[in-house]
């Protein structure tokens, strides 16, 4: 079961698994939020979705011929706070 994103291929992909957010970028995949895997069918679905995402990330990294030891993370653009 492949995930709904192609890791490191786009700056515009994002998906949700419960309250967990996965953001795809060309130099990183960011995963943040909260995911509770309950001992039921919904929990199994969430676990499988998360596993598919991570399996795709690992596969994409393993395909790279010359992975550097570490990259410099590009800073994100600062957006002015519209409320203050």
The answer as to whether 45 is a domain residue is yes
| pTM for this entry | 0.81
The answer as to whether 32 is a domain residue is yes
Q: How many domains does the chain have?
A: 1
| Range(s) of the domain holding residue 28 | 13-63
The answer as to whether 6 is a domain residue is no
Q: How distant is the alpha carbon of residue 48 from its chain centre?
A: 14
The answer as to whether 84 is a domain residue is no
Query: Residue 41 pLDDT > 80, yes or no?
Result: yes
The answer as to whether 35 is a domain residue is yes
| Predicted confidence (pLDDT) per residue in 21-31, tens digit | 999 999 999 99
The answer as to whether 73 is a domain residue is no
| Predicted confidence (pLDDT) per residue in 51-76, tens digit | 999 999 999 999 999 999 999 887 76
- The CA-to-CA distance between both ends of the chain, in Å, stands at 44
The answer as to whether 29 is a domain residue is yes
The answer as to whether 79 is a domain residue is no
């Amino acid at each position: 079961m492949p995930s709904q994103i192609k890791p490191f291929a786009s700056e515009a992909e994002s998906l949700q698994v419960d309250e967990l957010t996965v953001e795809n970028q060309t130099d990183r995949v960011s995963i943040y939020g909260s995911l509770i895997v309950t001992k039921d069918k919904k929990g199994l679905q969430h676990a499988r979705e998360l596993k598919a995402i991570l399996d795709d990330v690992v596969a994409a990294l393993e395909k790279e011929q010359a992975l550097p030891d570490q990259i410099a993370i590009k800073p994100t653009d600062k957006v002015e706070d519209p409320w203050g």
